[in-house]
Amino acid sequence: MHLTHQEEIPKKPKKFYQVLYVQVIIAIFLGISLGYFHPEIGEMMKPLGDGFIHLVKMIIAPVIFITVSMGIAGMNDLKSVGRVAGKSFAYFLTFSTLALIVGLIISNVIQPGKGLNIDPQTLDKNQITHFISEAEHSSLLKFIMNVIPKTLMSPLTGDNILQVLFAAILFGIGLALTSEKSKPVTDFFQALSYPVFKIVELLMKLAPIGAFGAMAFTIGKYGISSIINLAMLVATFYTTSFLFVTIILGAVARYNGFNIFKLLSYIKDELLLVLGTSSSEAALPSLMSKMENAGCAKSVVGLVIPTGYSFNLDGTNIYMTMAALFIAQACNIDLSLQQQVVLLLVAMLSSKGAAGVSGAGFITLAATLAVVPEVPIAGMTLILGVDRFMSECRALTNLAGNAVATVVVAKWEGQLDKDKLQEVLQ
């Protein structure tokens, strides 16, 4: 008798040190220690973190293309593609705006920048010229035009998630409309998905090395002391993000029949990976795989997560209003309620314009401040030192927000296997 697949082989339970999230925690701790005690060696570890993120980015395009194309091809009714997209954007817009408002309210209550008494004339703008020029080049029209790829296949060789998504949706619709004739292509994609997701699994084994390198570099270059000067801003931001995820997203999760803490525990590997590398992209392929495994339909996962990575940026939005008001408070600039509302509206637009740009949080902030002349753009130099530490929290909040959005949209669409979800969350 021969075995089919691996069903009849009982899996040995892993020893604790073989579990990915344990390895990542140890790697983060070792990285912090190296960066703190030997900063010059810590800085030299940068290629380990960068290399790991490049490896993951290499596989993102095929994962999205296959998942989305197959998901749409498997839909009996193409109207449902439009419905999923519409519901996703309604969700993204609501919670992105809510995140901006939460950041605005808490900044006004706690006022983390108050008492720094900084003269805007003394700030050196040269350190942030790169971000300002990036921001000037990112307009909403340019962003929309940039979503359209040069050829159907060119997105697979680039790193623009939205271009990959655009091509995959078109290709998926093409497959759905020619289902019988396209069966060999669908079968090929189904077969191709196995090695592609196996590569994702293999790359995740390198996550501890990536997290170690990124953490050692961050602490080695910027030092823990750089946080202390701006500890109030960092602490306020982390606390606000935590409360946003646990209270606001927690209430959404409860209303939709699942527990936010169980969901966060389920995606803990991805959260720790993001914490270690400061990049939410590092966790994108495995997050898609996990959400499918949690009972969300392939088509919903394929549409919600990649678009959410560009449009559902709760953490980035909290950061933008907080950072802008921190700079105003530090420079003793009193913004009226009207000016703060303008800031909020500009931030809503600019966060969509810089979506998909690397280091989007800081570039979006530059784009926002450029339109609100009351707050000096040179004030961004005040937070440059801690931006790296805040980018981790931005990415973690964004990731949690996208996991919740996927389950909620899948439930709205009747594309959620509730029993499977409860099973994996237990």
CA 36, 39, 44: angle at the middle one, nearest 5?
130
* Per-residue b or e along 255-291, where b marks 16 or more CB atoms closer than 10 Å to that residue's CB: ebebebeebbebbebbbbbbbbbbbbbbbbbbbbbbb
Position 226 scores a pLDDT of 62
Residue at 91: amino acid letter: Y
C-beta separation of 161 from 172 below 8 A: no
Position 132 scores a pLDDT of 64
* Residue range 359-377, pLDDT digits in tens: 567 777 877 787 777 888 8
CA distance 251 to 257: 10
Q: pLDDT tens digits for the chain (426 residues)?
A: 344 343 434 456 777 777 888 898 899 899 989 999 999 999 999 999 889 888 888 888 898 899 888 888 877 677 888 888 899 999 999 998 999 999 999 999 998 888 777 777 776 666 667 666 666 665 667 767 878 888 888 888 877 788 888 899 899 999 988 888 999 999 999 899 899 989 988 998 898 999 899 889 888 887 777 666 678 888 999 999 999 999 999 999 999 999 999 999 999 999 999 888 888 888 889 999 999 999 999 889 988 998 888 888 899 889 989 989 998 998 888 888 888 888 888 888 777 655 445 456 777 787 778 777 788 888 888 787 777 778 889 889 999 999 999 999 999 999 999 999 999 998
Domain 16-425 sits in CATH 1.10.540.10: no
CA atoms within 13 A on the CB side of 3: 6
Position 7 scores a pLDDT of 40
* Residue range 210-231, pLDDT digits in tens: 989 988 988 888 777 766 667 8
CA distance 96 to 102: 10
Q: Which residues pair with 232 in a beta bridge?
A: none
Cα–Cα distances (Å) from 262 to 197, 267, 288, in that order, read 24, 9, 17
Q: In the chain, what are the helix, strand and coil shares in percent, each to the nearest 5?
A: 80, 0, 20
DSSP-derived 3-state class of residue 182: coil
- Give the pair of three-digit tokens for residue 106: 């808490």
CA distance 387 to 222: 10
Candidates 33, 56, 55, 60; CA nearest to 45 is 33
Quickly count: other Cβ atoms within 10 Å of residue 23's Cβ.
20
